[in-house]
Amino acid sequence: MDLSSIDLRAIGAWFHGLLISSGMSQTGIHVIEALVGALLLLIFGLTLVIFLIWLERKLAGRIQDRLGPNRVGPYGLLQTVADALKLLTKEDVTPLDADRVPYNLAPGLAVFHVIMALAVIPFSNRVIGADINVGVLYLMAVGAIGSMAALMAGWASNNKYALIGGFRVVAQLLSYEIPLVLAMIIPVMVSGTMRMNGLAVAQGSIFGFGWFVWTLPLAFLIFFVASLAEGERAPFDLLEAESEIVAGYNIEYSGMKFAWFFLAFFMNSWVLAAIGTTIFFGGWQGPFVDQLPALGVIYFLGKTMILFFVQAWVRATFPRLRIDQMMSFCWKFLVPMALVLFAAVAIILKLNLPQPLEAITLLVANVAILLTGVTLLGRTQRKALYAPKRAFTPTIPRL
Amino acid sequence: MNLPHIDFSVITPELIVIATALVVMLAEFVGAHATPSPTRSHRIALIALLGLVLAALAAVAGLGRAATDIQGMLVADDLGRYLELVVLLAAALGLLLAWDYLPQFTKMHSEYYALYLLAVVGMMFMGKSTELITLFVSLEILSVALYVLTGFHRGQLAAGEAALKYFLLGAFSSAFFIYGAALLYGDTGSTHLVDIAARASGGFLTLAGLALLLVGFGFKLAVVPFHMWTPDVYQGAPTPVTAFMSVGTKAAAFVALFRVLQAAGVSYATWSLVLALLATLTMTWGNLAALRQSSLKRMLAYSSIAHAGYMLIGVTAGMQLGLSAVLFYLFAYAFMNIGAFAVVSLLERPGYHATQDATIDAARGLFARKPLLAVVMAIFLLSLAGVPPLAGFFGKLYLFNAAVQSGWIWLAIVGMINSVVSAYYYLRVTVLMFMTEADETSFLRSPLSNATGLAIAVAMVGTLLLGIFAGPWLQQLGQAALAFAGS
Amino acid sequence: MTLILFAFLALIALAGGLGVVLSRNPVHSALSLLLNFASIAVIYFLLHAQFLGVVQVIVYAGAIVVLFLFVVMLIGGNIGPYRHGSRTVTSVIAVGLAAAFLALVVWSVVQVLPMSATPVGAPDAGSVQAVGMALYTDYLVPFELASLLLLVGMLGGVVLARRYQPFAEDETQ
């Protein structure tokens, strides 16, 4: 088969022709195409998770010197399918005093918000659900719905651990949304667009040297740390700290409803990795992508998987933070640093330097701010450690 | 991209106050380990006072110059400059009251003064704005700052109650205001008052929009059907804040009301009748309710409602005569009302967790204990009642005169009857001060500090001087009003 | 097509609004409010005001309703319905006033119909660029004043949230 003929546009054009030949009105065709696109994304997202769960368990196993799932299917590949079947057959329990409507709505909302996010992610130059001009903001808006789902679940379960878990989710997600947004806004500033595809296109120079991760490494670091927290992953997985609050907001859920939360969790991680790829790693950009657009999808998925792997790696390696440490790390370290970086980048862009010089200046500024921040952090931390403590005064260790 | 040209001289006084607020806010960090103390508080207050004086000088320097504006949103005309002077005067007097009052109950001095100055900025911007969004945002600046200042005495239950009531009703009134602005925008397609004046259809939509705006203003002015919050808030708030906001908010809202009404796009006959009815209600209800109060602050709160009613007579009288009379009254009211509140603040018992409210009985036999203070208080109260030759008398005279000249004779008569009624409760306090013996209910915070003394002295001198030089001053204000009415 | 979508969304928004007012449980009220905001956001999208729609979701759904819920849940949402004296009388008066107000607004809008068919803004008036340009040129003054308002809000929050420290003799000595 001729590889160059696999142009994704061709499939779309063929489908479009099919619909026209069936004699439908223009609006009808539009609606059907939109629905089919949405359905494709949905199916992609849901099946992807089956693989992601297996991947993460296998990785965690290897990192922790275990084998990981290896019984069901080759290399344990069908383990997740078996788990899903098990969850499907389990009894669906609703607590007697639960607030029924929000209780049943919450799992749906949790999955819904992640799938909504998929709509603006450019899988390749042409494969994108909707390239709206406020893509980055849209992602933040959709992410905001996620905390609502957790809060609803925590409240409606009528369980104190669930409620505490819900509160933790809100506190954590709202706090970490700020450095996340600030870190995402910096590439937006540099490229001058909020379209997700526009961001990917803006990083298109040869051999990946245009990727924002090279010029804005600190922005990426802040983004990555904040995305770990937004994805509720270790070391920020306080929402389900089993030693403290048993399992968090989804404690009362069982069967398929629990599976939905589980699904949302993994898909959310993957979506965050995809956003990181698009904004900082050039998205679908790669060698020969202009000649063969279908390659874009492969590049994109590959890069996203690598980022997802790093997330899983961190999760399998690091212990959990305490809640006050987590909050002060965000408010006293990430947010100020992101703000300083934001101001610095804005000033550098205003200088209107010629291209290679501007990139170098940005890089230098990033590294300088990172080093200063870390030095200051270390110093205050040491001071707090050695500060004289009065006996029996409960002190809150500061970062 | 072309950034708009901005003439910063339009907002020089505001910029000075904003800069002062920022300095005051950061003053907390100077001398990092210094603990909050009264002296520290005095230093911060001094900076704030200097800022207010500088801003007032800037406003005075601008007087008489031609009107300039920023993008048609903020305008610097003489009306705006006089408004700034009223607000800055009230702010400076209120600040002097807070000088020794504040350290009695809180350690958060820079926060207090920063919020206070920002409230001042909000009022100044409000009186200068000629565009509905700008007007709304400045209204919110002053409101939010005042909500917090009202509840600043955290140990006192009444303060919390007052702040909550003020906040809820204030937010409610903001909703009315913004709804009205939206309807006017829907009618004319613009939020600039000039465009609204030019394009308003004058139909039902304009009327509805204007009515809703009027409700929003009514809340801020404490006009009678919308006055419910006033007694509780004035009583619960720290006395310096009460003194300041009773004058400053009214001044800003009245000037803004004049600007909106001028651009209303509705005939004078339509809105003046509504305002006349509101004025009658407000005066009568405020005075009648004040008769029955036993708390001094609450009495003054109802009296301030009544005074808002008097000033509404001036608004009813129209742009030219009414405006100069209202401006004059605002100056007079700033002096006499804050003076009265200053004396009241001395009659309150400071406490660890709560400052006890001053009752009327606290003034018992004040003449025997502090003759000068009693005389001064009597002068403030007589001026509020409208006894010649004090500032309050001339203020009322001009207001009623304006009403008569523009044909509102019955309104002037209602106002006069109300003045007579109000004399009863002002004189009751005076009688208690002069003709009774001090007993265990009477109280006076002593010693009288320099700052409070200065505030009382300034208010006193102002009340007397405005009475003596009423004519020339009114002429001055009349020119500003003429310029505004002609524009 | 747009009309059908609009009618659908408007119905949802109305249902949400009614839910806010009618439900006895404050949590349900807040959730209905969320429904209302979300459907209005989608209506903004229909009007090509994408920026506004997204900001609507971020600000209202993401921040305000979450904080509402947070507070309601912290102080206990199921205290039971608030009962006071003659409920029927107050509710009749309230409904009557609301109906009168609605009639007033509808009537005054009907008066000026048909409105001019020309849209107020350019076709891309809802884009980030257009909104940004408007904010930083035509509406610079209110925009900067809003920053002042935020400063006031921040200071106020600090004041109210800080632990109360009275200035008493036993502490200063």
Cα separation, B153 vs B159, in Å, equals: 6
How far does CA C76 lie from the centroid of its chain? 23
SS3 label, residue B359: strand
Tokens of A209: 């040297």
Residue B232 sits at the vertex; the CA angle it makes with B226 and B234, to the nearest 5 degrees, is 95
pLDDT at position C168 is 45
**CA dist B204 to A362, B183, B184, Å?**
58, 10, 11
Length of chain A measured in residues: 399
Helix, strand and coil in chain B, % to nearest 5: 80, 5, 20
Mean pLDDT of A171-185: 87
Of C58, C78, C98, the last residue of a domain is C78
C58: chain A residues, CB-CB within 8 Å? 137, 140-141, 144
Tokens of C22: 């009618």
C61: chain A residues, CB-CB within 8 Å? 141, 144-145, 148
Q: How far is A154 from chain C (nearest CA, A)?
A: 10
Burial A32-46 (b: 16+ CB within 10 A, else e): eeeeebeeebeeebe
pLDDT at position B304 is 93
- pLDDT tens digits, residue range A195-239? 888 888 888 766 667 788 888 888 899 999 998 888 877 777 766
Beta strands in chain A (DSSP E): none
Q: Please report whether residue C172 resides in a domain.
A: no
pLDDT at A5 > cutoff 50: no
SS3 label, residue B131: strand
Any CB–CB contact under 8 A between C64 and chain A? no
Mean pLDDT of A3-8: 48
Q: How confident is the model at residue C84 (pLDDT cuts 50, 70, 90)?
A: low
SS3 label, residue C112: coil
pLDDT at position A8 is 55
Instruction: Verify whether the Cβ–Cβ distance C61 to A148 is below 8 Å.
Output: yes
Instruction: Verify whether the Cβ–Cβ distance A101 to C50 is below 8 Å.
Output: no
A334: CB partners within 8 A, 6+ apart = A176, A179, A222, A225, A226
Cα separation, A351 vs A125, in Å, equals: 31
**Which among B204, B213, B266 is the top mutation candidate for probing chain C, defined by the most C β-carbons within 10 Å of its own β-carbon?**
B204
Q: Please report whether residue C92 resides in a domain.
A: no
In a shared domain, residues C17 and C72:
yes
Burial A253-275 (b: 16+ CB within 10 A, else e): beeebbbbbbbbbbbbbbbbbbb
pLDDT at position B93 is 93
pLDDT at position C117 is 47
Cα separation, B272 vs B318, in Å, equals: 8
B104: chain C residues, CB-CB within 8 Å? 167
Residue A233 sits at the vertex; the CA angle it makes with A230 and A237, to the nearest 5 degrees, is 95
- pLDDT tens digits, residue range B199-224? 887 777 888 888 889 999 999 998 98
**Minimal Cα distance from B187: which residue of C?**
C112
Cα separation, C110 vs A369, in Å, equals: 59
Q: Please report whether residue C117 resides in a domain.
A: no
Q: Which one is predicted more confidently, B103 or C169?
A: B103
Q: How far is B338 from chain C (nearest CA, A)?
A: 25
Any CB–CB contact under 8 A between A174 and chain C? yes
B25: chain C residues, CB-CB within 8 Å? 155
Tell which B residues from 348 to 387 touch C, by Cβ distance under 8 Å.
352-353
CATH number at residue C6: 1.20.120.1200
In a shared domain, residues C72 and C17:
yes
Strand B68-70, strand B74-76: pairing: antiparallel
Q: How far is C17 from chain B (nearest CA, A)?
A: 16
Domain ranges of chain B: 267-487
Q: C26-32 long-range contacts, Cβ below 8 Å, gap at least 24?
A: C26/C72, C26/C77, C27/A99, C27/A102, C27/A155, C27/C69, C27/C72, C27/C73, C27/C77, C27/C78, C28/A99, C28/A101, C28/A102, C30/C65, C30/C68, C30/C69, C30/C72, C31/A102, C31/A152, C31/C65, C31/C69
In a shared domain, residues C74 and C6:
yes
pLDDT at C63 > cutoff 50: yes
Of C56, C78, C100, the last residue of a domain is C78
Mean pLDDT of A181-203: 84
Enumerate the H helices of B292-436 as residue ranges. 296-316, 320-346, 366-369, 371-385, 391-405, 409-435
Q: Which one is predicted more confidently, A391 or B466?
A: B466
**Minimal Cα distance from C118: which residue of B?**
B189
A138: chain C residues, CB-CB within 8 Å? 50, 54
In a shared domain, residues C4 and C67:
yes
Counted domains in chain C:
2
pLDDT at position A386 is 74
Among residues of chain A, what percentage have pLDDT more than 70? 90
- pLDDT tens digits, residue range B68-102? 888 888 888 888 899 999 999 999 999 998 888 88
- Report whether B41 contacts B27 (CB < 8 A): no
- Report whether B443 contacts B349 (CB < 8 A): yes
Q: A363-366 long-range contacts, Cβ below 8 Å, gap at least 24?
A: A363/A214, A363/A215, A363/A216, A363/A217, A365/A341, A366/A215, A366/A216, A366/A217, A366/A218, A366/A219, A366/A341
pLDDT at position B63 is 85
One-letter amino acid of C10: A
Instruction: Verify whether the Cβ–Cβ distance C62 to A177 is below 8 Å.
Output: yes
**Minimal Cα distance from A195: which residue of C?**
C128
Residue C18: CB atoms within 10 A of its CB come to 12
Any CB–CB contact under 8 A between B58 and chain C? no
Any CB–CB contact under 8 A between C55 and chain A? yes
Q: Please report whether residue C144 resides in a domain.
A: yes
Q: How far is A162 from chain C (nearest CA, A)?
A: 12
pLDDT at position C77 is 55
- Report whether B379 contacts B465 (CB < 8 A): no
Q: How confident is the model at residue C161 (pLDDT cuts 50, 70, 90)?
A: confident
Which residues of chain B have a pLDDT value below 50? none
Domain that holds residue C37: 1-78
Mean pLDDT of A336-340: 90
**Minimal Cα distance from B176: which residue of C?**
C101
SS3 label, residue A22: coil
End-to-end CA distance of chain A: 59
Cα separation, B32 vs B29, in Å, equals: 5
pLDDT at C146 > cutoff 90: yes
Tokens of B419: 């003045």
B114: chain C residues, CB-CB within 8 Å? 155
Tokens of A91: 């009894």
Backbone angles phi, psi at B70, to 5 degrees: -110, 110
Residue B440: CB atoms within 10 A of its CB come to 7
In a shared domain, residues C68 and C3:
yes
Q: Please report whether residue C115 resides in a domain.
A: no
Any CB–CB contact under 8 A between A136 and chain C? no
pTM of the model: 0.86
Q: Please report whether residue C118 resides in a domain.
A: no
**Minimal Cα distance from C1: which residue of A?**
A27
**Minimal Cα distance from B205: which residue of C?**
C108
Of C18, C52, C78, the last residue of a domain is C78
- pLDDT tens digits, residue range C95-139? 898 898 888 878 777 766 665 544 555 566 677 888 888 888 888
B119: chain C residues, CB-CB within 8 Å? 152
**CA dist A262 to A108, A114, A163, C86, Å?**
12, 12, 18, 49
Tell which B residues from 318 to 337 touch C, by Cβ distance under 8 Å.
none
Instruction: Verify whether the Cβ–Cβ distance C133 to B1 is below 8 Å.
Output: yes
Mean pLDDT of A21-26: 75
Q: How confident is the model at residue A3 (pLDDT cuts 50, 70, 90)?
A: very low
Instruction: Verify whether the Cβ–Cβ distance B6 to C137 is below 8 Å.
Output: no
Any CB–CB contact under 8 A between A151 and chain C? yes
Q: How far is B444 from chain C (nearest CA, A)?
A: 19
Cα separation, A41 vs A207, in Å, equals: 29
